[in-house]
Structure 1
Amino acid sequence: MIDVSTHDGIHTLRLARPPANALDPALLRALIDAVEAAPRDGARGIVLAGGRGIFSAGLDVPHLLTLDRAGMHGAWSAFFGAARALARCPVPVVAAIGGHCPAGGCVLALCCDYRVMALADAGASPYRIGLNEVQVGVPVPDAVQHLMRRTVGPRQAEKLLVIGAMPDTGAALALGLVDEAVPMDEVEPRAQAWLQALSALPQHAVRATREVARADLVATMTDPVGTAVEPFVDVWFAEPTQAALQAMVARLRR
């Protein structure tokens, strides 16, 4: 479920669960293993990539709706485990976003150090990124809201989160939600180039500074069972949430 390639000390981890890289527990656990293995295998940086046209569609909601409470607890633990692995990775991680990046896909991208996102071809519908949970009837837990606040600031985060906004690539760049907006074929080369430039700096200084700068992110994702999983499982099984999710899945199947 994760394709791994290496070039000049940079490891590219590509989500490989077609058609949309929907995040189920198996994919999330494979991602945790790959992120943790890369530094042990000598990686100086990681590029996290998805598919062409879609980075990840987010959590696999149809699968999650088949799970009981214990299964949901395991699924959400795997999701926050993957986010935590990215947040505390000892080497920098760049999200190479080659398409749409909603919900859970956006969470993973927000846990990376840097985000490079594709611009759609002229005349094509723009690619979009964001936390659109509210639009499908799911409240956004505080641990996830923290990711958006630390990226775009509290006021902008509130405005985006309460309506489940999905800005296009250009708007996301203006907000600071992504760091670069480039044509599709330049997404992964730019991600590689940013990591190479970072690796040319004195690494003891980079590591120490990065550790301080990302301490809040690591702390937020370190205790997901207490801060996010248990409350979110309660909300997940609430009648209004289940009704909204079932309606969404019905629309997708049509």
Structure 2
Amino acid sequence: MTDTTTVRRRTALLEVQDVAVHFGGVKAVDGITLEMRPGQIYGVLGPNGSGKSTLLGAMTRLTPLTRGRFVLDGKDYTRRPARTVHHMGIARTFQTVRLLEDRSVRDNILLGQDTLPKQQRKEAGARVEEVMERVGVREVAQLRPDELSYGMQRRVEFARAIIGRPRLLLLDEPTAGMNSAERAEIGVLMKQLLEEGITQFIVEHDVQMMVDTCDYLFAMNFGKLIAQGTPQEVVRHPDVQEAYLGKGAGRDA
């Protein structure tokens, strides 16, 4: 008889096991357990201060843990330094744009290869044109970030994150500050990346965008996981509606 736990772990791309991040008496993340399987777009919803970005920082080992474990494709990387997480196939974008203003778009994208092993750096450098074409920034390759719209700057960040062919892409509010047309374009880009085999995990405030884009949602509040399931199940969950709309919203919706 097959052990179901063994099967689950074999099929999970990422396991987050009882993860907590406390800052003094503040429990920013407090006992989160979840898993992600390959070939899906996952999202986490929650009001401001619910712990979403802190969880993302912990997953990339930029934020120290109070307790818990992270397992990628069966390999525990909890104690690995942040600079080596990219080697394992995890890449991310940040809540605010982090581009070097005095460097060209092409140079900013190539920075994404700096944390890779030597052979992977060569491969990444050889495919920069392909990546720029894929995310729609090839025509502005020689411009500086401050010459681009905010939406285009976000695209540059996507390109920098995927140039090393990550297996898991973590996106922290990828459509923040964008208009509806730009958000729709990013949603299309995310679907294209999924077709290329890049599993994604998104932190985002735009509920409709999450419903339209994600295959599976988690919801957090006060550092804890309060719901998970299909997008429709999660947004209708009474605890999620109460977290967003106030006490009693779930009963009245």
TM-score, normalization by structure 1: 0.30
Larger relative contact order (C-alpha < 8 A, sep ≥ 6)?
Answer: 2
- Identify the structure with the greater helix proportion: 1
The structure having more radius of gyration, on CA atoms, is 2
Structure number with higher strand proportion = 2
Task: Provide the TM-score with structure 2 as the length reference.
Answer: 0.30
